[in-house]
Each structure stands twice: as C-alpha cells, then as structure tokens.
C-alpha cells in the first residue's frame, strides 16, 4: 500500500458524507472579505481537533495550522475563505441564506477540501515526517488577504517553507485536475478614476463642463488601447465596469467616476496599459476643459500567478501516477487572477497552483458539443455557479494529500 493509500483509507463514505455536510453548511453561510469569522472559527476548531498548533486572526481573519512531525520539508497548503457580493440563483436546497452574498467562486469547496486533507494527514503521521502548514486565507477576492497574512508575521509562525501548494475549482469536468508550469493566471489592476466638471442646469450646458460627456469620451477612447497599443501576440484585457454620475435628470453633475479593470500576463504590457490609461484620461479631461485634473485610486492589484517549473513537473508526475493520464489535463493560461503567488514569493519558496474540475462531466460534454459552454455550464462568479459535490470534494481532498506527500518525507523507521 502506498503512503497516499494509507492516508486516504480514512476517506470512506462516512468521512465523505461528513465533509459534504460541512461544505453545504459553509455554502449556506458565506462571509465577505475580512469578515470570515464563522468560517475561520470552523476551520480553526477542526485543526485543533486534529492536533495542529493553531493561530487565529492572522492578517485579520486568517487561520494558520502548524503540525510539526519530525525533521523534513515544510509544506504549506492554502485555501481561501471569502465570498462574493452575488445574489445566488442556483435554487439549491443549501443555497446561501445571506441575501446578496454567495460562494460564487468555490472558496467553500476549497476550505472543505483543505480541512479534510489536514485531518487525514494528521491522523496518519506515521506515513510522513516534516511540517505541514494549513493556510486558511481571507480576502482573496480583493487581493489583500495573502499580503495581510505575510505582513502579520505569517512566517514567524510557520518557519521557513519548502513549497506552497493550492488549488481552485473551475467549470471543467469533475474528476480531473488541470495544471501547467509557468504563467497560469494573469495580473489584474482595478482603478477608480474621478472626473471633475462644472455642474449646472441641463438647459444651460454652455455654462457647464459635463463630466458625463467626458466619461463617455474616455470610455470609447480606452477601447483602442488594447486593440492599437498592444501587440496581437500579447494578452491583455481592459474593461470599464462602472460609471457613476449625477442624481437628477435636469442637473448636470459636478463629478463622475469610472471604475476599470485590466488583465495582463506581461509586466511590460501592464506598465504600458497603466500609462496609456493615465494619458488618455488626462488628455480627454484637458480637451473637455475640466477645471481640475482627474484623480486616480488603485482599488486592488493582483500579481501574476506563475507556477514554479520544476515543482510543477514533479507534482504533475505525482498526479498522473495517482489519477491516471485521463485524470490530469493541461490548464491553459487564464485571465482570472489570484493572490496565491504572494505566499511563495514572500517565502522565497516554489509554489504550484492547479485547477480542480467541478462541473458535471456529461453536462459539460453536451454543452461543449453544442458550443454552449458559456450558457449551459455556469462559471466562477456566476449566480448559478454550483460545483458538483461528488466527485469534486473527495478528489480535491485526494489532490491535496497527494501534493503534500510529494514533498513530505517518508517516515523514518
């Protein structure tokens, strides 16, 4: 019997049912960024029951579990905990009870899988040695939680890490993990821009500087930045997601604001996009006769997520041995963003991030054949996003156990 098999013998039907109950409970009680108090309490209690040294309130609401089991590598497994301001429309019997708040990105599944894997590894300490670290991270959705944990002395609690490992559910067929070396998720920057005009009566526009017209000109001009200033061989997205101005139909407002988001895979492209945004906005404000320059405020900034090549090859081999070639697929780079990479960068350790399929395989196949994946297989951040609990949950636990044991030493006799 392999070490992985020895650990997973405890993942029987009873254990899987208990974890499924935990998952449904977490799904029903989502919590926003830096307010994951209930989720953190549940994670911490389960770690204590498994024998971990537990630290709470790390970086706000983060939880760190440390299990030292002799000499050897220190392996960190990470799960994020926060939910999204989305009104759930899945119709599930365990749908969110928090109006306007939903686990629309699967972080409830991540917490459940890590909780299960940590318990199994703790119960089978005779199979490995080293240090196992369980990171339950807050505020991933606003790109703040990982850095907050690091700034709050994370590595004083864990010691030097050898590798950082994490997974994320995606709307791909359940029963499959997706992985690739190198760049896997894009960098993202969200910016709020305030535009200043001169308000007045809508019947006398000549006495005003209309910030709505200014905003409209900026939005249209920004559409040319990617198409005309970024090479077709590079990847970039620029989206204006919000425009706000005014309170009444016969009043020209004094101010307007626009919020935009960019996604890039290259530091140079990111720099060029940010510079182009500032150039376009300032130029349009000047052309409109704005009484003062626009102001810019960064809302969040996600770093590029890149898997360490050597560590990814090592883990891909382990996954292929465990799940078979059909259970492991290449994960094409995605424009979605994560702050997971902050941990490995700050620790000076390799990190690997992989995808976990969570969609019904037969439904996915039908939708793919019909060219309706977007319509029939809801993705992350959709109000209809609902991971298939089985086999997603047990496979997520199995993937984390496999990943941890790929680095943790075999127990010395």
Give catalytic residue positions.
82, 140
Burial 177-196 (b: 16+ CB within 10 A, else e): bbbbbebbbbbbbbbebbbb
Based on the number of CB atoms within 10 Å of its own CB, is 27 exposed (0-12), middle (13-18) or buried (19 or more)?
Answer: buried
CA-nearest of 54, 176, 43 to 108 is 43
For residue 5, what are the contacts with CB-CB under 8 A and spacing of at least 6?
none
- The answer to whether the CB of 274 falls within 8 A of the CB of 225 is no
Give the up-direction half-sphere exposure of residue 214: CA atoms within 13 A in the CB hemisphere.
35
d(CA 253, CA 214): 11
d(CA 408, CA 14): 27
Largest CA distance in the chain: 88
CA-nearest of 117, 116, 145 to 36 is 145
d(CA 265, CA 269): 7
* Both structure tokens of 127: 């199979």
Residue 92 backbone phi and psi in degrees, to 5: -70, 150
N-to-C CA span, the chain: 16
Burial 99-132 (b: 16+ CB within 10 A, else e): eebbbbbbbbbbbbbbbbbbbbbbebeebbbbbb
Based on the number of CB atoms within 10 Å of its own CB, is 89 exposed (0-12), middle (13-18) or buried (19 or more)?
Answer: middle
- The answer to whether the CB of 242 falls within 8 A of the CB of 182 is no
Element holding 3 (H helix, E strand): helix 3-8
* Both structure tokens of 43: 């994670």
d(CA 212, CA 199): 10
């Amino acid at each position: 019997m392999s070490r992985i098999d020895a650990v997973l013998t405890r993942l029987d039907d009873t254990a899987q049912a208990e974890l499924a109950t935990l998952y449904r409970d977490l799904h029903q009680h989502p919590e926003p960024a830096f307010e994951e108090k209930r989720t953190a309490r549940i994670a911490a209690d389960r770690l204590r029951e498994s024998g971990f040294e537990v630290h709470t309130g790390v970086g706000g609401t983060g939880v760190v579990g440390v299990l030292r089991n002799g000499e050897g590598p220190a392996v960190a497994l990470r799960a994020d905990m926060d939910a999204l301001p989305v009104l759930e429309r899945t119709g599930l019997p365990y749908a969110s009870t928090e109006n306007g708040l939903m686990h629309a990105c699967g972080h409830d599944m991540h917490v459940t899988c890590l909780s299960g894997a940590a318990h199994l590894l703790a119960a089978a300490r005779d199979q490995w040695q080293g240090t196992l670290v369980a990171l339950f991270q807050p505020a991933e959705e606003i790109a703040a939680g990982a850095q907050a944990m690091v700034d709050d002395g994370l590595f004083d609690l864990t010691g030097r890490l050898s590798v950082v490992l994490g997974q994320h559910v995606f709307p791909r067929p359940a029963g499959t993990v997706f992985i690739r070396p190198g760049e896997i998720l894009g960098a993202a920057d969200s910016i709020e821009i305030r535009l200043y005009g001169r308000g007045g009566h809508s019947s006398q526009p000549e006495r005003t500087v209309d910030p709505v017209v200014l905003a409209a000109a900026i939005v249209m001009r920004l559409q040319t930045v990617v198409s005309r200033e970024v090479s077709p061989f590079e990847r970039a997205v620029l989206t204006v997601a919000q425009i706000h101005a005014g309170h009444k139909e016969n009043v020209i407002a004094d101010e307007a604001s626009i919020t935009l988001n960019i996604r890039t895979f290259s530091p140079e492209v990111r720099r060029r996009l940010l510079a182009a945004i500032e150039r376009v906005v300032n130029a349009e404000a000047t052309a409109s006769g704005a009484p003062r320059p626009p102001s810019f405020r960064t809302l969040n900034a996600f770093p590029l997520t890149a898997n360490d090549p050597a560590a990814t090859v090592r883990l891909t081999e382990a996954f292929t041995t465990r799940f078979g070639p059909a259970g492991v697929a290449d994960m094409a780079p995605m424009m979605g963003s994560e702050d997971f990479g902050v941990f490995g960068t700050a620790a000076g350790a390799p990190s690997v991030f992989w995808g976990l399929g969570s969609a019904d395989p037969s439904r996915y196949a039908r939708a793919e054949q019909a060219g309706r994946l977007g319509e029939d297989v809801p993705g992350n951040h959709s109000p209809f996003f609902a991971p298939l609990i089985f086999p997603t949950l047990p496979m997520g636990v199995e993937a984390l156990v496999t990943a941890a044991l790929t680095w943790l030493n075999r127990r010395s006799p």
